Structure 1
């Protein structure tokens, strides 16, 4: 009989079924189990096969064989037909460990963690002893739902009952303790493990990276007996995610020097790293290698290439990658989709939109979206979400509204994920009321939705409202995550709530066991700075070991400028320039700080040093959207079609606001510029030009929304306050830090930004 089974290994599906009937007809039921296992179709996900086998087993009585039952059960699990698997499982009179394990692992694979834990409890109540495979699946579920107590109890039960602990099971326990943020337990377990594989080491390396301990993670990585591609990917990606981009780049070079194989995921990580460091030349080298290896058409790699060229400002290269794609193969996959030559794959729509947004080409982004709609391209919701995110980052609300309407038009339900994206978009576009409408219309909001509205309130300076929402969320039993705490700490920072901010920072660590990230630390530094606690900032940086993070020092420098502490500001600027010698913002901020305090020679020295080192200042841009067109303005630029009208109106407006108390802040211009000339420079800042255009071409009494890519200067900030008072209009300006709501001569930021 065994020979017969082997002879049919290469038979057709139909022949297999005929043979199965013959075996049943001649009464070879004792061979039935071996026949199922010998079949070349046992791993098939074909539901017809599973149903046929089940039916035959019922007819010939072989289902009474527990081994056959377990095998059919396994086939149902592999075909993801868990309902029928559960039904068959319930019909088995006496279930062994294997049957329980098959069903538990099936529910674990589809993420039904609650069902897994319920089945495990039933298994224990029936007195069935789990094996290491059962326990591994259950521990993974405990990790996913952060059920530390149950996981710890299972670990204790394993030790008490002497269950064989293979490396897979011990890795599951290791992962559990780390996911539940019980780091000491994980370290002890790792040290006691008799056998560790590469996965064990990778888990611990990732844990140290998550905790922000770069030195320990690198020490462990160097101690790793055998480094596979996953190990390299873990250390490079982890360092990059934690803000150690240069260290990540160094490890990438080491990986290449060691001759390690680079996977598709490695190239994706490397291209993201290149994007963040704007290393165009290295990006081109990686592109060449990707092409030589023949993996340039891989979805993840291709998207990373497009985004790399977009972020490096080479939209032509990004478009070229899309034009090189095989349109025919895509039409086979999406036969009803009409494509333009320059847009050859669905996944790349959002990348190109984002790319144009990153490079300030908002009208091009709008054109792509219009082409997409006109060509009737069926865009998946993931791409739509990316487009919404691009609208949010650029602050182009009308484009966002069009996307919202498009989602309704195609009949897609606004689920929690999409609702969260729209809340974020409307908030960042300066329309918090619309964000509130979506939040209130959504039933059973999850942590992501709560986080979006909390962050929206925080960004608009409504600190107390954000805190109220946070406490309401906790009262309803929803556990905040690390992003939620970024929102509530930002709210405390923007509202100057030092005591509350310190309370929530401690709560995050001690109650929810969330390790602070870069954004949490930045919020705390900004919070201390607003309160004038500059020495406390120094201590905070030292205590938390975050002196390698440039963004922390930049926030510190802003606080020094606000409180006119020149000596400390110089010391902070030196620290920044050691980390990023070419950071233009630091030179500008330090120079302005000297100029504000009449230290003209020092200000000139900083500007001279900037020229000597060939550091280029990013040009300030302001933009606003009127109907379907985005209007962009640069200081002193007269290329706009209505430039003459804009400049003439702005001059009149300046004269009118001067009458009610406004005066130019000439300290912001250099000492070698005459005051009259300095006033001319100040009056033509990009946000003033955008404001003048908005007043001319929008209805009286409607809010004016302006976006800016840099920090709004003190002079323009004062000008907006006086204009809002003069015209009795709300002016909303979003700069690089936050929203400023100017109304009745006051700003929502309280003159701190």
Structure 2
């Protein structure tokens, strides 16, 4: 009877079924002979619960459309999207035919739901099936290796790529570059990247981000220049990576160049890029410019506020950091864990003990933020720096959260400042148990022993390090001059202007001694004669970088340097005298914070 109806009437009814806000499956079955697969694809998209998916699944089976691979794959995907992996896998196993999309949906479905083991198991079954993976399936598996940071499996998948003849495929190689980058095997990532005949924006962005994360931000900025030279226009994601690279290297000139490019390209500073810019200027040594960018942002979230509070903190402006907190609350932005870490850090490095205690006690009571190990670490550091060692130890012993290397490191640092040898031994023992391969813990304990004149204990630590083949992390200092980064190590003679640098340094030392500078050989903690100690002190990387800055930058200009380790006490004193004698402002960024030296004084107030 239905066949006798005119095509026009049927078309109208079919349109009603497909495009009404809630077409009925029961009604649809009345016209099952006329419904094509598109109807069910539309129905699957509309499903909001696993039960609704099962209902559509039943109709698809009833109408014999499960043999249609497009419909079957869509059903697999929708099950995975609703996290019904058992239903998805049962359907997958029952399919008479599977194509590359079917396998990819299952591999990706398990991966997106965090079941990486089954994701790789499905891939193994795919290989055993005799089918050859294509450039659609392989990137899914490579991303699993990336997310799990499973380098061994990643290399095996790389071999499969070669066997499938896809080692020149842009999509596959881009995924491999991403995987090696996340696994921090930057050399392999770079090798693949350079061989790519065509690099898209995503691949450039991944490579720039990888160099930044793996400790080579200078190379990341060089890649940014290369990318633009090759005509690839960066988007906001790429620019965030570039801005982060500037922040890592602390290069003010490069930061300004990137900022000018962003302004010239008319990129709006949204909350993500804007927050990155605030962080960049703060870590390049200018908290004032960071505040200007912050004030100019139309939209700020809790991360933006926390970044600005943190900037004041590591620039030694603890009071400014605390004053921002009520302003943030008045802006109807509620604090989170990061906010309180920034606040407590600021209190710790400015000696604001009572303010820090008040904030710590208010976290959970007033704002519902439960303190975690990072907040306890900040409090231990705050109390320890202030000389409240016993109170600091009591807090550690009363903690309900598991103790990590950060908490013991903070206590060990406090022991170094105040010469508490016995407690230092306890903290160091706990640190070495947690991280036996970290040479920094052994070195710090060795320095504490040396400062106390316990040379036998120093010898034991050195012997232990030698037995475990541990080496002290080398200290490096960077300075940006003429848009180029120059790097120095202790006793460095590799710089092209090395002779001039040492001549300037020797001349400066004589001037500083006249002004009252007395080298503090306590910071060369080795049992060697005083003459050798002085030689070691005078060739510290900070001093070499500053001497280079004095001979290669205009008079009265600010000298900015960055060190990968904590600046030593003698170099701190040296910087104060240099700022006084030369009338230069010197900004030093070390592993912990910033020091701004001007007219013989430091912004830290010698509390660091």
Same fold (TM over 0.5): yes
Q: Deviations over 1:141-192 (max 9, x none)?
A: xxxxxxxxxxxxxxxxxxxxxxxxxxxxxxx9xxxxxxxxxxxxxxxxxxxx
Structure 2 distance, partners of 1:300, 1:517, is 38
Structure 2 distance, partners of 1:449, 1:661, is 44
2:180: which partner in 1?
Answer: 306
Q: Deviations over 1:709-740 (max 9, x none)?
A: 11111111111111112222221111111111
Classify the secondary structure of the residue corresponding to 1:385. helix
Provide closer, same or farther for how the CA distance between residues 26 and 432 of structure 1 changes in structure 2, counting only shifts above 3 A: closer
Are residues 1:23 and 2:20 paired?
no
Provide closer, same or farther for how the CA distance between residues 268 and 589 of structure 1 changes in structure 2, counting only shifts above 3 A: farther
2:597: which partner in 1?
Answer: 742
Which one of the candidate residues 244, 256, 263 is aligned to 1:408? 263
2:547: which partner in 1?
Answer: 692
Q: CA shift at 1:648, angstroms?
A: 0.6
Are residues 1:319 and 2:193 paired?
no
Structure 1 distance, partners of 2:516, 2:17, is 100
1:588: which partner in 2?
Answer: 443
Q: CA shift at 1:376, angstroms?
A: 2.1
Are residues 1:540 and 2:408 paired?
no
Provide closer, same or farther for how the CA distance between residues 300 and 556 of structure 1 changes in structure 2, counting only shifts above 3 A: farther
Structure 2 distance, partners of 1:418, 1:750, is 33
Structure 1 distance, partners of 2:421, 2:233, is 57
Contact 2:182 2:210 in 1 (8 A): no
2:155: which partner in 1?
Answer: 287
The residue correspondences of 1:564-643 to structure 2 (distance < 5 A) are 564-643=419-498
The residue correspondences of 1:109-128 to structure 2 (distance < 5 A) are none
Q: CA shift at 1:305, angstroms?
A: 2.1
Structure 1 distance, partners of 2:177, 2:187, is 15
Q: CA shift at 1:381, angstroms?
A: 0.9
2:72: which partner in 1?
Answer: none
Q: CA shift at 1:357, angstroms?
A: 4.3
Structure 2 distance, partners of 1:596, 1:269, is 50
Higher relative contact order (CA 8 A, sep 6+): 2
Q: CA shift at 1:547, angstroms?
A: 4.7
Provide closer, same or farther for how the CA distance between residues 599 and 730 of structure 1 changes in structure 2, counting only shifts above 3 A: same
Provide closer, same or farther for how the CA distance between residues 379 and 678 of structure 1 changes in structure 2, counting only shifts above 3 A: same
Contact 2:145 2:179 in 1 (8 A): no
TM-score (norm. length: structure 1): 0.63
The residue correspondences of 1:82-481 to structure 2 (distance < 5 A) are 233=114, 271=146, 283-289=151-157, 291-292=159-160, 297=171, 302=176, 304-308=178-182, 311-312=184-185, 315-323=186-194, 325=196, 327=198, 344-357=199-212, 361-481=216-336
Contact 1:272 1:304 in 2 (8 A): no
Instruction: Give the aligned CA root-mean-square deviation in angstroms.
Output: 3.8
Contact 1:548 1:579 in 2 (8 A): no
2:349: which partner in 1?
Answer: 494
Classify the secondary structure of the residue corresponding to 1:706. strand
Are residues 1:708 and 2:556 paired?
no
Structure 1 distance, partners of 2:112, 2:215, is 38
Q: CA shift at 1:445, angstroms?
A: 3.0
Structure 2 distance, partners of 1:596, 1:423, is 40
Structure 1 distance, partners of 2:412, 2:331, is 39
Structure 1 distance, partners of 2:513, 2:246, is 36
Choose 380-389 or 409-418, whichever is displaced more. 409-418
Q: Deviations over 1:515-568 (max 9, x none)?
A: 334432321221121122223333323333445411221121111101100010
Provide closer, same or farther for how the CA distance between residues 705 and 496 of structure 1 changes in structure 2, counting only shifts above 3 A: same
Contact 1:657 1:722 in 2 (8 A): yes
1:529: which partner in 2?
Answer: 384
Q: CA shift at 1:417, angstroms?
A: 1.9
2:38: which partner in 1?
Answer: 41
Q: CA shift at 1:605, angstroms?
A: 2.2
Which one of the candidate residues 365, 387, 398 is aligned to 1:510? 365
Are residues 1:662 and 2:517 paired?
yes
Unaligned 5+ runs, structure 1: 6-17, 46-70, 79-101, 110-131, 134-171, 173-195, 200-227, 235-251, 275-281, 328-343
Contact 2:218 2:245 in 1 (8 A): no
Q: Deviations over 1:239-261 (max 9, x none)?
A: xxxxxxxxxxxxx9xx69x9798
Structure 2 distance, partners of 1:741, 1:731, is 6
